[in-house]
Amino acid sequence: MCGRFTLRTPASQLVQQFLLDVDSQLTPRFNIAPTQRVAAVRQQDGARQLVGLRWGMIPSWAKDASVGSRMINARGETVASKPSFRSALKRRRCLVLADGYYEWKKEGSQKHPYFIRLRDDQPFAFAGLWEAWQDPMAEKGDPPRETCTIITTDANELSASIHDRMPVILDAADHELWLDPDLQEAAPLQPLLRPYPSGEMTADPVSTHVNKPAHDDPRCVEIQRTLFD
């Protein structure tokens, strides 16, 4: 699964790397957690837009928002068939921007956090889906709540020793296809939902400081070469 991640990269670099049409101000994040807002890219009217989406997808047909906290991830193997995700896979895909994520490895009775990222520490995009949900109790004229989920797949060789699942990290060459609003068939997208190559990634143990979502500072990504604190 993917339950925490980072986005420390300056906004100016993200604008250039992900071909965004406008600049934006982003605060460096070291511990993004479910139900918080994430930076995502959608394509609309021929341009890529950087938007903020709440992490934890609420299907349009949901009766209340509580379901969102249980839908932070969607399994790549079943995303095309599950009622909660299949419509979004066809029509509402996005890139969720990140430059690292955390996973916890069980060792005895304890779980130790690891920080997983690309070897060059460059930003990347998770395969994401988004939805717009209208609260039935909202005031007239209130906009719908826009939420998202991150697709997961089997772990690659690097991360398998830590956890059996990992988020789908899209190759940069596949971003255009993933965002293409004219593509509304699941079959051409399924091959993209694969593990990222192990040789291009690295994983390091970090402090249990990251365990608390309220901790959102550089200490979260400090590598612990010996004992965990």
The catalytic residue positions are 2, 103
Helix (H, G, I), strand (E, B) or coil at 191: helix
Report the distance separating Cα 92 and Cα 87, nearest Å. Answer: 8
**Cβ(5)–Cβ(101) under 8 Å?**
yes
**Cβ(84)–Cβ(59) under 8 Å?**
yes
* Cα R_g (the chain), whole angstroms: 17
Three-state SS for 61-103 is CCCCHHHHHHCCEEECCCCCCCCCCHHHHHHCEEEEEECEEEE
